[in-house]
Structure 1
């Protein structure tokens, strides 16, 4: 009886948790399919009387949605590629070599993850202004790259430490240099971990709003999160268009998170080999 009660409580708890997590997504999708007049009807309708794609047509045809997506893709992909490349090299050094200041570097990386982003906003804005990078995509790429290198390095360092040194030592005995052993032997084993790091960096860049709002004011350079924020007007909120944009905005991140989960698990499994 006790076992049944515990199992029943667990099922009820998970069911309630699932509903609480899924219902907001359901409500966003349904709102995006409602005509404007049905969004504010009372009592609340959990299924619209008339489904419409007008909200999606509005943001695609009337707004510069394609431009915003292009800006987000360019900034997110470029920054994620740079972060992954730098993090691979820095994580390899920190995982394979213990030198003076090693602990201080790792402590510095961890401390950067504890500080809120707005703390450095003033100095960064002044720096970008002096470099004449305000209202440029390059400013976002630089900020995203710098912000994600510490965490990406910490993440990849864990992957490197799970790969036995004997693999690269055997490659070096066969005539490979250290760099050649890294590229030919270690990186193929690390592929899942590197992919997971890239996807994590891309999703973080794709969702970022704070820096993009502060550094970009030009309409043709805005990223998708900034464009979504523009649906919040002074005296009104275009809930239909915002919900439709949110659905389109979330789809890539949902897919990438699903892919990232598999890569992270595979990477940890393959790296957990004792030499």
Structure 2
């Protein structure tokens, strides 16, 4: 009897948790497909009487949404690729070699994850201003890269430690250089970790709002999260257009997680085993 009650409690708890997680997404999608009269109708309509694509059409009419998508994709993919290259190399060194300052470097990486990012806003803004990089995509690429390198390095270091050093030693005995062994032997084995790290970096860059809003003021250079603010008017909020924009903005991340789910789960699990 006790076991049945416990199972029932778990079922009810997990069901409520699932509803709490899924309902906001459901509401955003339904709102994006509602006509304006249904969005503000009372009593609230949890299922629209008619479906319309007017909100999706409207966001391309009243804003440069296709440009915002392009900006977000260019910045997110560029920063994620740079982070991946630097993190792979630095994680390999930290996992395979012991040298003076090794522990201090790892400690510094961990400390950066504990500090709130906003404490660096003033010096960052001053640096970007002196380098004449305000209102430039490269500014966001640089800041996103620097911000994600510590965590990505820590994550990939766990994967390198999990791979026995004898694997690359055998490759070097067969004539490979250390660099060749890394590229041809170790990295293919680490594909789940590399994929999960890249996806993590891409999603973080894609969704970032604060830095993008602070350093980009030119409308043609804005990213999607910043562009969403344009639907918040002085005395009103265009919920239909905003919901349509949110739906379009989450499609790339949904597709990435759908196609790379196996790599993500396997990569995060393996990387957590040893760090």
Q: Judge same fold: TM > 0.5, yes or no.
A: yes
Closer, same or farther: CA 18–132 of 1 in aligned 2, 3 Å: same
Match of residue 16 from structure 2: 16
Tell me how far 1:61 sits from its aligned partner.
3.2
Tell me how far 1:196 sits from its aligned partner.
1.0
Separation of aligned partners in 2, 1:62 and 1:237: 14
Tell me how far 1:260 sits from its aligned partner.
4.6
Given that 1:200 and 1:260 are in contact with CA atoms closer than 8 Å, whether structure 2 keeps it comes out as no
User: Which stretch of the first structure deviates more once superposed, 129-138 or 95-104?
Assistant: 95-104
Closer, same or farther: CA 272–131 of 1 in aligned 2, 3 Å: closer
Given that 2:79 and 2:144 are in contact with CA atoms closer than 8 Å, whether structure 1 keeps it comes out as yes
Match of residue 150 from structure 1: 150
Q: Paired residues, what number?
A: 274
Residue 230 of structure 1 aligns to a residue in which SS?
A: helix
Separation of aligned partners in 2, 1:242 and 1:147: 28
Tell me how far 1:267 sits from its aligned partner.
3.7
Separation of aligned partners in 2, 1:268 and 1:174: 32
1:236 aligns with 2:236: yes
User: Which stretches of structure 1, 4 residues or longer, exceed 6 Å deviation after superposition?
Assistant: 268-273
User: Which stretch of the first structure deviates more once superposed, 44-53 or 250-259?
Assistant: 250-259
Separation of aligned partners in 2, 1:2 and 1:258: 38
Given that 2:32 and 2:243 are in contact with CA atoms closer than 8 Å, whether structure 1 keeps it comes out as yes
Match of residue 141 from structure 2: 141
Match of residue 40 from structure 2: 40
Closer, same or farther: CA 271–125 of 1 in aligned 2, 3 Å: closer
1:255 aligns with 2:255: yes
Separation of aligned partners in 2, 1:248 and 1:203: 14
Closer, same or farther: CA 91–144 of 1 in aligned 2, 3 Å: same
Given that 1:162 and 1:272 are in contact with CA atoms closer than 8 Å, whether structure 2 keeps it comes out as no
Residue 114 of structure 2 aligns to a residue in which SS?
A: coil
The aligned runs of 1:106-117 (5 Å cut-off) are 106-117=106-117
Residue 140 of structure 1 aligns to a residue in which SS?
A: helix
Given that 1:72 and 1:224 are in contact with CA atoms closer than 8 Å, whether structure 2 keeps it comes out as yes
Closer, same or farther: CA 128–172 of 1 in aligned 2, 3 Å: same
Q: Which structure 2 residue ranges, 5 or more long, are not aligned?
A: none
Separation of aligned partners in 1, 2:221 and 2:95: 39
Q: What is the TM-score with the length of structure 2 in the denominator?
A: 0.95
